[in-house]
Amino acid sequence: MRASNNRRRTPDQILGPFFPVRCRAFASNDLTRVERGTGLAQGEVVEVRGRVLNLDGEPVRGARLTIWQANSLGRYRHANDSNPAPLDPNFLGCTRLRSSDDGSYMIKTIKPGAYPASPEWTRPPHIHFEVLGRFERLVTQMYFPGEPLNGRDRLLAAVLRPELLVATEATPQQPSGRLLNFDIVLVKG
């Protein structure tokens, strides 16, 4: 199969200072609840769906995805996060899962909040992905469409094709919340 002229590899992004090294990640695609929790995570519920593909459009079966993010107030559940925003006891902010036979994955989560990266820079809402395919590793971030901070984000502006990192709104919307699509493209898979 020949590579599509409009399919491009998903750009790399930095791993970030808050990779979940001690995250009690569980094999669940629902981040709005925690095991033995007493409630739901605070914030706007978002469902992110996508596929892990190679440049030829073939699905990458069994790709390992580690997904992590800040809570709705912009705070990571990580010892090094000095953001004074409170933690949400009903939100761990990370999970690990595998893509299905057709390369698809899905998470139900909350929209992360923006947070200060420095006194003059605020990161827009984003979700981190580490994808381990059969032949390669990709670390990237998914940004939310229509966010005013996207246009001023240093990391998003640093990539050649920033539009490849912005999810698209899927229609119709789910009754349980916003639905976004974010396909991840690797070179070989």
Q: Could you tell me the CA-to-CA distances from 19 to 86, 147, 157 in Å, in that order?
A: 19, 23, 21
Which member of 49, 76, 77, 105 is catalytic?
Answer: 76
Query: Is the CB of residue 137 less than 8 Å from the CB of residue 75?
Result: no
Which member of 49, 51, 78, 115 is catalytic?
Answer: 115
115 is a catalytic site residue: yes
In angstroms, the CA 82 to CA 143 distance is: 22
* Burial of residue 25, with CB atoms counted within 10 A of its CB: 0-12 exposed, 13-18 middle, 19 or more buried: middle
76 is a catalytic site residue: yes
Query: Is the CB of residue 144 less than 8 Å from the CB of residue 69?
Result: no
33 is a catalytic site residue: no
Which member of 77, 105, 123, 143 is catalytic?
Answer: 123
In angstroms, the CA 31 to CA 67 distance is: 10
Q: Give me the active site residues, please.
A: 76, 115, 123, 126, 128
